[in-house]
Structure 1
Amino acid sequence: MRSYLDFEKPIAELESKVEELREVAARDGGVSITEEVTRLEQKADQALKDLYQGLTPWQKTLVARHPGRPHTLDYIAKLVEDFTPLAGDRAFGEDEAIIGGFGRFRGQSICIMGHERGDTTETRIRHNFGMARPEGYRKAVRLMETAQRFDIPVVSLVDTAGAYPGIGAEERGQAEAIARSTDCSLGLGVPNIAVIIGEGGSGGAIAIATANRVMMLEHAIYSVISPEGAASILWRDTTKAQEAATNMKITAQDLMRFGVIDQIVQEPVGGAHRDPDLAVQRVGDAIEASLQGLSGLPGEEIRRLRRDKFLAIGRAI
């Protein structure tokens, strides 16, 4: 059963009518209502297209958080062959909020890692809703250093509300772990590609997103803080989250204009959750093209291009 967001209620009503007519046609074989079903389907498709062409930043936030969007494990399963995961940071323990390992992507070896939110109550708890602890970022550093050693490009999939803010995480050096992961990303001598596939929140996102090429799915968001968090700080009123989302410029379209990201990956009409396989394929195509553009470059050139990219952000708007 499809899950609809609040602003999608008109679409839900149309698609519900289509399903009702199909059931009537199946039950009463002699009744021909094909034309009516086709008309309603076309009306629903057009309404969906019109709705998603004019989404507000807050509506995009809701789409980015939709539980049906493909997650990191979905991308790995569909894009990476012979995936071998690595676990643990060799200092404290394993953090399943970040999944990572090595495999083959369309004929070439890659290191791939990303935040995993989970898709059931059990898996969400196991993956801590994609909010990584220090050991998760230290595992990311371990992965990147291994990739550097064997001259293997790195792909990061970002989907987190932010790093886990618990006391234990702070006691184990959350800020230091994020800083070291960011520094490692910036210093890699191999190409790295980052894709914001859902919600990219705070330092928890940028720790693995400081890459040669940063891409976002069309309805993803990327920000220093959640709209709810910003509203709570600025107005002491979380009900102003919609206003905060608009003012924060968190959408892919805004961030492309500011030079924060390099490419927007188009989603299927109605969002990635409507056609996960197509969304994954388009991300895979974008990753492949970016890796081809960076292949063969020496390590120092790769570092220079990455450094220049981040230093240029916000300087020419």
Structure 2
Amino acid sequence: MPKPPVDHFETQTITIDPKQQPVRIDKFVTERLPKISRNRIQNGLKKGTILVDGKQVKANYLVNPGEVISIQIPRYRPEGEEYVIAQDIPLDVRYEDEHLMVIHKPAGMVVHPAPGHRDGTLVNALKFYLGREDIPTLEGNDDSRAGLVHRIDKDTSGLLLVAKSAEVMTHLAKQFFDHSIDRVYQAICWGEPDPPADTIEAHLGRDEKNRQKYRVFADPEEKHKHAITHYETLEGLYYVSLLQLKLETGRTHQIRVHMQSIGHPLFNDARYGGDRIVKGTIYSKYRIFAERCFELCPRQALHAKSIAFTHPVTGERMSFDSDLPEDMQTMLDRWRNYATSKRQNDTLT
């Protein structure tokens, strides 16, 4: 029976584990992608559709720890299967060249299609904006994550990197693997952390009682992910604080779970307990004030503020920064006014 027609080519990437022993690349890729025959992999190496760190190698090449293998393979459209549709959704593009894009994602926008969010996502918008189907994907991902090198949560705002080619995707993925991409977030949390600057190092995994949540595991198992977050208090405002956070790892919900684990959940983070009054007084006037702040910022107060990386083609170190979005800034200003008034009252008393 003939194969269905090729719909487009997709690129998968494999980052080789730091402990990987030397092994022939054709054997290594066959073991990682068992649905692709070894003969096809050897042909791909000859044709240059399988690259190591962007360079062509022979089938007997021995892989090394930390290398990134990119594999371009044909994507067939099974009968009845629908791929991500292109949608004319406005994008806030902060930088673009022929190789990559830096996009500012607003809070409320889902990054890629998933059950319950089949359209209206950033990837739907990218499909339309770029006007083509051959947008690369990382290893193990499909058309629904085209172009994405990393992700941020639906209700988190901020900057995202998008790759336009397999080679650029490979190089950026390696930078993430090597921790040479710098990402800085700003957040508003409940309370004033003590110490005001510190590093949180704790393993994360899914909460067995609620699969929509993650939690810290004191006795981690192999399935739990090592996670490191560095935080610094930029401004203490009595019952909330403005924080700057730098990720050393990029785990799902990492900042949100780490801050909850030390007793300072992010403001209005419904999933991790920040959508109630965690710190403050019992007076009704304060309660009304806090509830008004919930209305001003109706999502977790987390913003991917800046990103810095080395351009995969030019070698230039590039950095981009974004201001706090209006909802977080307005709410922060209200807390500043509240803190100023409280300090004046404390001085008088």
Give the TM-score band, short-chain normalised.
under 0.3
The structure with higher relative contact order (CA 8 Å, sep 6+) is 1
Q: Could you state the TM-score of these two structures normalised by the residue count of structure 1?
A: 0.24
